Structure 1
Amino acid sequence: MTVKAGVLVAGSCNVDLVVRGRTLPRPGETVLGQAFFEAFGGKGANQAVAARRAGARVELVACLGTDAYGARYAAALRREGVGLRGIRQVRAVPTGVALIVVDGAGRNQIAVAPGANHHLRPRDLVRVRPLFARARVLLVQLEVPLATVQAALRLARQAGVITILDPAPAPARPLPRRLLRLVDLVTPNEHEAELLTGIAVRDLRGARAAGARLCEQGCGAAIITLGARGALHCWRHGARHVPPVRVRTIDSTAAGDAFNGALAAGLAAGRSLEESLHEAACAGALATTRLGAQPSLPHLDAIQRLARRRSLRPPRPRR
């Protein structure tokens, strides 16, 4: 019998071109930046690296271009220890690129040219079906075609794999119920939760209502991330608040990716959902204390050190 362990990620790879300045530009406005740098990003690869640094064995299913960025990206993933059996390079198509502006408060604006990411197809997942049989957790996002996301969730469900959907970037319309029924945990932020449910998320009450709606639509549970207010773990008839982790924020670019990667790594290691959520909250907070996407993703020792120092104890469920 195959022993299930590790995290399988199906998603995007982008090269981030980042400008840091004092303020974010308004429409039609040009602002002067204080610094520029390149980093590897994309929600799929970010979450794969986050899970790997959080201690999990990780395989990534993604598409890169055959350009110089694609070659450099594959080498960087290899150095991180991320498995590349699911990587396909697409001829005559550029690797995905994200243009990111970060202000002095750590807020950001992002525009993405998907490139090779839009060439990830369901057949790419079928080609690596044995990876599903060996994984304990699947992590997917919405930077690749929706049909590919649904195919990944279906293959994972057939293989008895825990499924996590990070519904980012925010969808333009509610996701189909047939997809949500394949999701064990959905992890939207406030904006994404509002778009998915039509319920305004302005406080914990709104977050709880949106989480309950997502469960009614078919998800096993919802974890709504609330930035400085922590997160709310919701199920059909209850909710539990995950307290915020206070840090000095420099750049929030990959906080959600760090959260999701650490959550998947904790579950893949057999830790409880409560413990995994608290480690995920610490990982997300730590990621905001450094510039860049993948450069900011924390390692397991830093995550667990912060969790121990805070002595996080989950409150009783709210009913």
Structure 2
Amino acid sequence: MASLSTLAVVSQSGESISFFNNITGEFTDRTENLAAEPHDLAYDSPRNLLYVSHTYSHGHYFAHGSICNTISVIDATTRKFTDAIELTPFGGPHGLSISPDNTILYATVETGFPNGGGLIGINLASRTIVKSIPSDSRAHWFALTPDGKKAYTSNMNSPFISVLDLESEQLVKKIPVTGSSQGAVSVDGRFAYFPTPSAQMKLEIQPTIEVVDTSTDEIVKTIPFDEGIGALHVTALGKILVVVYRLEEGASTAALKPKPGGLIVLDPTSFESIGEVEVGKFPLSLRSSPDGLTGYVANVFGGTVTVVDLESMSVRRTIDVDTKPRADKAFHQGAHGMALIRG
């Protein structure tokens, strides 16, 4: 694979994608005037395209405007919008991931099924929906197993994680949790990890990471945390990246009042912390380099990305994506989805 020399980052409130040199952090380009409001990013390396989900006309999961029903296609070479993939009758696309064989773009959707949302699969050659699997929930995030046969949707405020068989296109199990945010699957596919509860659900609930055996889809270990967990990510070296959010005194489910959060790295065998650094306000999205040595944290309310050396556990740089709130936006969400791309 050619070097992934560029970091692409969505500004949700800014309705744009900013591009940065992945070696120096220097700003190189921006795609503006995207449809409202972009959320997640997926990179199609064989075609050198970016796919951008648009979930709501404005706002966030717990307070938002009308549901959107498109995914934008961006040419990663020219940085230009080229197409919109229409998803009707499905709506509220959010999490994105491409199948291991690079043929299907999977997206969670919050509406369109009889009992809410689920996961849809879009053929990347025809750009038509070829798979639709209900989650019996308002699906928001998801994690794929390495073999591409199974997905787990994190349903935010639903009391379960949905286990989806992607071959039979069936909901096969519900794993009980107290709400959940972005989870991840181990490199070998043996375990899945999910943070609970989701942010803004019940701040007084003990935060935990639930470890799921993917052969039985049963919780086999619970890891307690002292702080709310925003998301998880597993690097190519198997390390578990955990972002925690921190709130000012007086924060509530209605007003989070974030302050700088943290990135904690867990050993995948002992689940003990092997390092921690401070990041920006309300870290939400995580990525890592193909060699597993660099971590990227998008701080949604801070409008920045924290680039972390995962060997020395030090902050390499902080990238300003979109730190200036817009007067016409009720919420400033200046850094969300990320992708490492060629060019």
Q: TM-score range by the shorter chain?
A: 0.3 to 0.5
- Indicate the structure with greater helix content: 1
- Indicate the structure with greater strand content: 2
Larger RCO (alpha carbons 8 Å, 6+ apart): 1
TM-score by length of 1: 0.38
